[in-house]
Structure 1
Amino acid sequence: MSSAYKTSAVENTSKYGPFTKMVDVYGLKILGLGNVGGQPQVSTEFLNKTAETFKLLLDPNAAGINKKSREKALKGLTSYNVIQRVGVKAHITHTRQALIAAKYRAGTKSMTSIDQEQTSSGICDLMGGPTLLLEQAQITENLEHALHTITQFALPAAFPQEMNISSKNGKASGISGDLYKALREAIANGVYDDSDYSRQR
């Protein structure tokens, strides 16, 4: 197996601006924010758990895995030089401005949203949805952002027609493929409301 498809332990780094810890999972770099913008640094334990989440989602020995498709998915992550950013939930609003100001250089990296470590306990509401223990919300948060990254970069590489997210004209009307058809069908059937994204169309 290529070294690009191996995993590493969490290590300190000075290569990625405000991100001071890194762990590599099958070519995906998971970066933890340091003490920036008033936030404490992301814990090594949480970065390890985030790495384990990706290992489980991309497990080469999972039942029913299609190894050729997995290989294509991993090539997508490495060819786009993808990073998964991780911050701390309670401080994320203060951190955003610091990230903008930092103007870090991490090579030509691709990324989606920023995962957030919970540092307290108790209960929370998920956008008006069910009330969850913060531990449960943390699992939901972790999986959500992992799937953002995999859907954005890995799955289109493995299934370019079915999971295509690229637009020919920069608008939703320029996207084609099974994933986009499923989205339009869900909206038409009233099982998905895309009104929150209307400003982006």
Structure 2
Amino acid sequence: MNADKRRKIFERLQKANPHPKTELEYTTPFELLIAVMLSAQATDISVNAATRHLYPVANTPEALLDLGEEKLTEYIQRIGLYKTKARHVIQTCRMLVELHNSQVPQTREALEALPGVGRKTANVILNTAFGQAAMAVDTHIFRISNRIGLAPGKNVLEVEHKLMKVIPKEFILDAHHWLILHGRYICRARTPKCAECLIYDLCEYPQKSTV
């Protein structure tokens, strides 16, 4: 895909949704961190359902440590892998208190040192909470990047590096959200809604449906 097509893709996505945002509900960087940790292999809907009850009770590292792992599992037990996630959340809260003055760190290295926080989660926090140029490649973004020819790659890291290189700088901060939303609701895995796609004519997917 050439640079002109890529620019047109993001111009259209921006025009359709000038101020995209995550569908996870949060009010602080810490709440976002916990929500993203809980969202691995789970839907944003299920995470929001849990945090709507959890955050009024405990939404700081200290409060979650006081709540404890056993009580935390009661709030998140409908989320996949909840036992492992509860353990990681409590361990992360302890590290934030002991090493970071209860604040969410603003570097990838420090974020990835937290239990249960990988590169994708770190990139979400850097981008969404702190406004840094970072690209969190989830299954939606990986699929779209390969399917439409935007930034083909064999693995998520390769796709991430390509996207950071080829997306025009003025779109980089919001590109993560645009691509996720497009993949979630339009360019879906099994039945992409080509008839509703605003970048249909720019897409290079050889099997796209005729509209």
Q: TM-score range by the shorter chain?
A: under 0.3
TM-score by length of 1: 0.22
**In proportion to residue count, which structure has more strand?**
1
Q: Relative contact order: is structure 1 or structure 2 higher (C-alpha 8 Å, sep ≥ 6)? A: 2
**In proportion to residue count, which structure has more helix?**
2
TM-score by length of 2: 0.21
